[in-house]
Homo-oligomer: A and B are copies of this chain.
Amino acid sequence: MEVFKRRTFLITVLLLLIFAGNTLASDGNGVDTGITAWMLTSTALVLLMIPGLAMFYGGLVRTKNVLGTMMHSFAAMGIMTVLWVIFGYGMCFGPNTLGGWFGWSNDLLFLRGIDTEVNNGVPDYVFSMFQGKFAIITPALIAGAFAERVSFKGYAIFIALWGILVYNPLCHWVWAEDGFLFNMGANGAIDFAGGTVVHISAGISGLVAAIYLGARRGYPKTSMPPSNLVLTMIGAGLLWVGWFGFNAGSSVNSGLDTAQALTATQAAAAAGAITWMIIESFHQGKATALGFASGILAGLVAVTPAAGVVQPSGALALGVIAASLCYIAILIKNKLGYDDSLDAFGVHGVGGITGAIMLSFFIRKSWMIEAASLTESGTWTIMQQLGVQVAAVLISIVYAAVLTLIIMIVVDKTIGFRSPAKNEMQGLDASYHGEHGYGMLNAS
Contacts and interface: CB of A to CB of B under 8 A. Distances in A.
A66 B234 CA distance: 12
Nearest to A314: B110
A134 B136 CA distance: 29
Interface centre among A292, A437, A440 (most CB of B within 10 A): A440
A195 B375 CA distance: 54
Contacts of A316: 82, 85, 110
Of A17, A112, A234, most buried by chain B (CB within 10 Å of CB) is: A234
A229 B81 contact: no
Contacts of A225: 439, 444
A441 B444 CA distance: 13
Contacts of A99: none
Interface stretch (A200-208, A266-274, A349-357, A382-390): A266-274
Interface in A262-307: 262-263, 266-267, 269-271, 273-274, 277, 281, 284-290, 292-293, 295-296
A6 to B, nearest CB: 12
Interface in A21-55: 22-29, 31-38, 40-41, 43-45, 47-48, 50-51, 54-55
A183 interface: no
A259 B444 CA distance: 46
Interface string A152-168: 11000000000000000
Contact of A51 (B25, B241, B254): B241
B28 A14 contact: yes
Interface in A87-145: 110-112, 115-116, 118, 121, 123-126, 128-129, 132
A225 B110 CA distance: 39
B23 A33 contact: no
Given A44-B241, A255-B29, A292-B78, A233 B54 contact: yes
Given A313-B110, A432-B286, A33 B254 contact: yes
Contacts of A230: 58, 66-67, 70, 228, 231, 437-438
Nearest to A248: B40
A435 B240 contact: no
A256 interface: yes
A267 B23 CA distance: 33
Interface in A230-256: 230-231, 233-234, 236-238, 240-241, 244-245, 248, 253-256
A440 B74 contact: no
Contacts of A38: 33, 36-37, 40-41
A438 B436 contact: no
Contacts of A24: 14, 17-18, 23, 25-26, 32, 121
A126 B23 CA distance: 22
A13 B38 CA distance: 25
Given A33-B253, A54-B237, A40 B244 contact: yes
Given A34-B32, A292-B74, A441 B440 contact: yes
A23 B28 contact: no
B36 A255 contact: yes
A439 B112 contact: no
Interface in A371-411: none
B259 A433 contact: no
A77 interface: yes
A262 B266 CA distance: 25
B41 A125 contact: no
30 contacts: A13-B28, A14-B28, A31-B255, A33-B34, A33-B254, A47-B241, A50-B237, A51-B233, A71-B292, A75-B292, A77-B273, A77-B296, A81-B269, A82-B271, A85-B266, A85-B267, A110-B311, A110-B316, A115-B364, A125-B259, A153-B281, A225-B444, A226-B439, A227-B438, A228-B230, A228-B439, A286-B433, A287-B432, A440-B441, A441-B441
